[in-house]
Amino acid sequence: MARTVPDKPALEGIEEKWMERWESEGTYRFDRSRAREQIFAIDTPPPTVSGSLHMGSVFGYVQTDAIARYQRMKGMEVFYPMGWDDNGLPTERRVQNYYGVRCDPTLLYDPDFIPPTEPPEPPMSISRRNFIELCHGLTAEDEKVFEHLWRTLGLSVDWTQSYATIDEHCQRTSQKAFLRNLRRGEAYSQEAPVLWDVDFKSAVAQAELEDRERPGSYHRIAFHRPSGDAVFIETTRPELVCACVALVAHPDDLRYQPLFGTVVTSPLFGVELPVVAHELADPEKGSGIAMICTWGDTSDVTWWRELDLATRAVIQQSGRLREDTPEWIESDAGRAAYAQIAGLYPGQAQRKMAELLAESGDLDGEPRAITHPVKFFEKGDRPLEIVSSRQWYIRNGGRDEDLRRALLARGGEVDWIPDFMGARYKHWVEGLNGDWLISRQRFFGVSLPVWYPVDDQGDLDFENPILPAEGALPVDPTTDVPPGYEESQRGVPGGFAGDPDVMDTWATSSLTPQIAGHWDDDPDLFGRVFPMDVRPQGPEIIRTWLFATLLRSHYEHGVPPWAHAAINGWILDPERKKMSKSRGNVVTPIPLIEEYGAEAVRYWACNGRPGTDTAVDFGVMKIGRRLALKILNAARFALGFADDVDVAAITEPLDRSMLAALSEVVAQSTAAFDRYDYARALEIAEKSFWTWTDDYLELVKGRAYDGAAAGASAHAALQLALGTYLRLFAPFLPFVCEEVWSWWREGSVHRAPWPSVTELEAHIGDPAVFRITSEVLTAVRRAKSDAKASMAAEVASVTIAAGAESLALIRQAEADLKAAARAVEMAYAEGEFAVNSVLAAS
RNA sequence: GGGCGUUUAGCUCAGUUGGCUAGAGCACUGCCCUUACAAGGCAGGGGUCGGCGGUUCGAGUCCGUCAACGCCCACCA
């Protein structure tokens, strides 16, 4: 093939050029005709498209792409789909803010609705269907932005294999898997206390909680014994005295043992309460005796459940205390007291209660300010409350030791990269304290595919849900009618009611292997890609996405969903601080790509070791850019000679020595890649490449220009080495490697075979020749540098002292050494290694 | 309170199964327009590998312990 080596090679424009070429030529198109053993399947994380783009998004994806490219060159057919996680709360919230709208499911659909140009204040209420249409529209736009970023970064994704977690295929898969869980008894619904976000008016799951330090105050409050004696408790939630169901102390606590089994009355409300014992009560905390309310925190729930206490809930789903006076408050004084806090938010009620208790003399001293951790929904702004409601759950081992052990064993079947990440999974599973709550009282999500019969009294029969046939999926029970019913029977006695809830986004994204592999509608494909080879992802979603995926696969297929789980590190800002929107230190990738180029950003990402936290580092990006430029320029030199070179011409010892060193690099880089250590593979290739350009190219320059038979050896060796380096770098710097490859090779470097020791073995010699010759060259350069002379300065004589063996090696490259050193004469002496250079008089 | 990780030059990081005189880039110093590359190249200075103790012929690398930082978990009245 004729060569087309540009005079002034440049990086500018090559990203656009190859991005388009790869798409039009289908370079990364998946060939489904290959057998499972020849396929490398990646369970790509679907990014939350309504989230912000930041360097964390880039980091892991580029690392995965390097692995994908390596596997492809190794001859594997790479199944590399891309999904978008667009369903769920983040999208709803973005739509609410973007358009200034709120979903009101009681409103009717307006087919002519056009969103306001400016977000109105207060927000406009729109129907569920209109709201969902806005969600679809906006996520479609967001997905384009992400796709463009991925393409610009050169991800070798097969774009024909994309999905969005809200699309019909995902809905069908998600509902089908749920129905199977339900039929096997792995999913169930239950009325129970749940952690509730009062702003989003939805239940949240254990995995979505986070603690935040909040100010609070201890109130020391008197409860009263029949004798009139006071029993003091301390609480941060005096507003829940009205919801108190018992006092509790530790069974061994001598101070309170006499009280166990007796009754006390609550202050203000005069409600009679038992005093009970439970080892969870901490004698060291507060006064050592606590009030149990339904429910102020999760320990209340534990006590309530384990001690079988009464239910006296006062906090409603709105977050306010109930308006009517609870039936258990019977005294007139108590009813009058409650009237003063009815309908208030907890904070307001707390202040009022402090006043009332102070007036009645039941508050001992002033409230004492403290800071304490409070549970929040990770995306929420107000503390979670605990309310009773009916929700759907999937059993996850949190309440079942056998299942927990089985899931731990499944996790043990996965190869964790790096291996300590396996401990994070293990600890999460060991720490689960309840089943997985999957229902959400939201709108933009996959519907729970169930209806309930309505009995003659108009009550719903939750125990006997009506289920759709799998062939009818996806269904929306709020608009679709169950088999055997008519729309007119919706919500009437003797009819049916659709479940209004949607599933949590993880309930769908936990099925990404099944979704991408088309478990639902293409068993042939699924059989070729499942279980997948690798799940790459961030460490923060081990407890959600990774765990849930493993759980669903365990239930449905009885195997782990992938052989390897490759967990990337956390991304920190340039000051090594955690990036977050609130700190305003989020670094976005687009400007960096524009400034340094995609290859430079890729280089930075590939320098982050597996599982190691990595700071955004512009210096590293600059090095990446320089490496890419170096490849261009070195290639221009290496290809600047004869078109037709024959590898049989590689006869010079120095050339064969260089190739021997390169062969070792190939072996090491391959070994590193095989253990998913892409960063090491890059480092090894890079170190070798700089030696190649700095020393080898300089040593053979004279011979290469000379053009004699020895020149042909250099020409062929240069090209053989260049072709090898391009393939070693192709997983990291796909654009520049493809560009150079195209100068003199057919096809894409990304479909070229990964370099092997075998292909070089006929051309290698003693690696020591190149090594020691480089040392001598460095010594001569040092002499010139010390003499403040130009590297082009002539050297009258170079005297080399070394062992006899070394001298023999150096002599094999004497002509090259003399040319590179500009040495007139070269002399040798046996002895300790030393190089004495005498510069010619200028 | 429990667990995991990190701690190596001023900065950002490498150092595979213990064998080095401890490496790279940035920054710093000096030199060089040498026909691949001056948004480059060559050469150089700079570290008691967090502290203490141990195993070993030999430890940045293994063991113990302490400390600092980060992350995760915890029943936070």
Measured distance CA(A459)–CA(A20) in Å, rounded: 60
Give the tokens for residue A317. Answer: 């789903």
User: Which nucleotide is closest, CA of A611 to its C1'?
Assistant: B5
Beta-ladder partners of A722? none
pLDDT digit string (tens) for A576-633? 777 877 777 788 898 899 888 999 999 999 999 988 989 899 889 999 999 999 999 9
Sign of the Cα pseudo-torsion (A440, A442, A448, A450, in order):
positive
Is the distance between the Cβ of A171 and the closest atom of strand B smaller than 7 Å? no
- DSSP at A100: T
CB A391 within 8 A of CB A203: yes
pLDDT of amino acid A842: 59
Measured distance CA(A247)–CA(A235) in Å, rounded: 12
CB A189 within 8 A of CB A460: no
Radius of gyration of chain A (CA): 35
Beta-ladder partners of A537? A567
Measured distance CA(A454)–CA(A459) in Å, rounded: 5
Question: Dmax over Cα atoms in chain A, in whole Å?
Answer: 115
CB A579 within 8 A of CB A56: yes
Beta-ladder partners of A490? A496
- Round to a whole number and report the distance in Å from the CA of A610 to the C1' of B19: 27
For chain A, what is the mean pLDDT?
Answer: 93
User: Which nucleotide is closest, CA of A570 to its C1'?
Assistant: B71
Which stretches of A153-212 are DSSP H helices? 168-183
Residues 346-365 of A with CB under 7 A from strand B: none
pLDDT digit string (tens) for A648-672? 999 999 999 999 999 999 999 999 9
Look-up: residue for tokens 């004729």? A2
CB A376 within 8 A of CB A200: no
DSSP H or E stretch at residue A685: helix A678-691
DSSP H or E stretch at residue A389: strand A385-394
**pLDDT classification of A123: cutoffs 50, 70, 90:** very high
- Round to a whole number and report the distance in Å from the CA of A551 to the C1' of B69: 35
pLDDT digit string (tens) for A766-775? 999 999 999 9
Q: What is the mean pLDDT of residues A345-356?
A: 95
pLDDT of amino acid A667: 93
CB A729 within 8 A of CB A737: yes
pLDDT digit string (tens) for A319-335? 999 999 999 999 999 99
Is the distance between the Cβ of A311 and the closest atom of strand B smaller than 7 Å? no
**CA A823 to chain CA centroid, nearest Å:** 58
- Round to a whole number and report the distance in Å from the CA of A784 to the C1' of B41: 14
Is the distance between the Cβ of A405 and the closest atom of strand B smaller than 7 Å? no
Is the distance between the Cβ of A252 and the closest atom of strand B smaller than 7 Å? no
pLDDT digit string (tens) for A271-285? 999 999 998 898 888
**CA A525 to chain CA centroid, nearest Å:** 26
CB A90 within 8 A of CB A51: yes
Q: Which residues contact A655 (CB under 8 A, 6 or more apart)?
A: A700, A713, A714, A716, A717, A763, A765
Look-up: residue for tokens 């080495």? A721
Q: What is the mean pLDDT of residues A516-538?
A: 97
What amino acid occupies position A761? E
Measured distance CA(A267)–CA(A616) in Å, rounded: 57
Residues 381-400 of A with CB under 7 A from strand B: none
Measured distance CA(A475)–CA(A482) in Å, rounded: 9
- DSSP at A542: I
Q: What is the mean pLDDT of residues A92-96?
A: 93
CB A460 within 8 A of CB A498: no
Which bases of strand B sit closer than 7 A to a protein CB?
A: 2-6, 11-16, 25-26, 30-37, 39-44, 70-77
Residues 660-719 of A with CB under 7 A from strand B: 668, 671-672, 680, 683, 693-694, 697-698, 701, 705
Q: What is the mean pLDDT of residues A65-93?
A: 95
User: Which nucleotide is closest, CA of A787 to its C1'?
Assistant: B31
Three-state SS for A521? coil
Measured distance CA(A349)–CA(A351) in Å, rounded: 6
Measured distance CA(A515)–CA(A446) in Å, rounded: 14
Neighbours of A791 (CB within 10 A): 12
Residues written for chain A: 842
Does residue A1 carry a pLDDT above 60? Answer: no
Is the distance between the Cβ of A640 and the closest atom of strand B smaller than 7 Å? yes
Measured distance CA(A182)–CA(A556) in Å, rounded: 12
User: Which nucleotide is closest, CA of A280 to its C1'?
Assistant: B75
pLDDT of amino acid A2: 64
- Round to a whole number and report the distance in Å from the CA of A324 to the C1' of B13: 64
